[in-house]
Structure 1
Amino acid sequence: MPAWSEPLAFRPLLVPRVWGGERLRDRFGKPVPEGAAIGESWEVVDRADAQSVLDERHDLHELWRNHRREVFGDIQAAAPGEAAIVGVLHGDVACGARSFAEGEFFLCPAAAALELSAPESAEVLLVRLPDPAGSPRP
């Protein structure tokens, strides 16, 4: 059993995107294969179709269901059916806008993007998306 008082290191999920490139490997040391168009590295994700994995026995949702108090403390659950993603995005091509059809988004200060060595024109979005399965998660 992991020591819940220690930091948890989840395995990131590398997500191919048409705007991707190799900067996630070059800048952040992600295991991006040569020539691959990886546009996102999901560091922490809890969705019906994608899970952050801690080890062979635990993923993020399993921790939330079975070890909530030990890992997360006394926080309340988010609204049913919402997904959570914390990730690093990269684009090799200019993208004018990104549409989140059923979610809502919030612009964060550009200073947050600059901390990641992003160009000054970068914007950081905090996006709240419904779970793609469309049903509440326990």
Structure 2
Amino acid sequence: MMNILTDHTAVVSDLEKFWNLESFGASGSDNIKSQSEVVRKYGEKSIILENGKYTAKLPWKPDFLPLPHNMELVKKRTGSVIRRLANKPDLLKMYGDIIKEQERRHFIEKVEETKLPTDRPVHYIPHHPVAKESSTTPILMVYD
């Protein structure tokens, strides 16, 4: 297929519009420099080596609203997971073992409802099981 332009006065402006549209979101080195600066600042301020372990804060975009408090949603989803797995006691036990192991390794922590923070918003990460065709690991925990 071939396009033929007959109006030479419109060529430059149409071509500029086309290339601007084609390169939308991928413009110039200013964008790359500002992203590099954000990454550098994140590395300096948000990654900490403490007691031989690295801790990294979640990388938030600067102009976004904080995540909402979602305790009730996560409680409902967790209840749904438990009800679904209750029909398969072996999988429910395995899922519980995964949770205990992650808690033991300090990947997750148990939150007592009586000790919920009230001075700041808190956002919990819901999870659900995914079944696999595997004799050694027939269930995985996936965080949303």
**What is the TM-score when the length of structure 2 is the normalising length?**
0.22
The structure richer in helix per residue is 2
Larger Rg: 2
- Relative CO higher for 1 or 2, CA cutoff 8 Å, sep ≥ 6? 1
**What is the TM-score when the length of structure 1 is the normalising length?**
0.22
The structure richer in strand per residue is 1
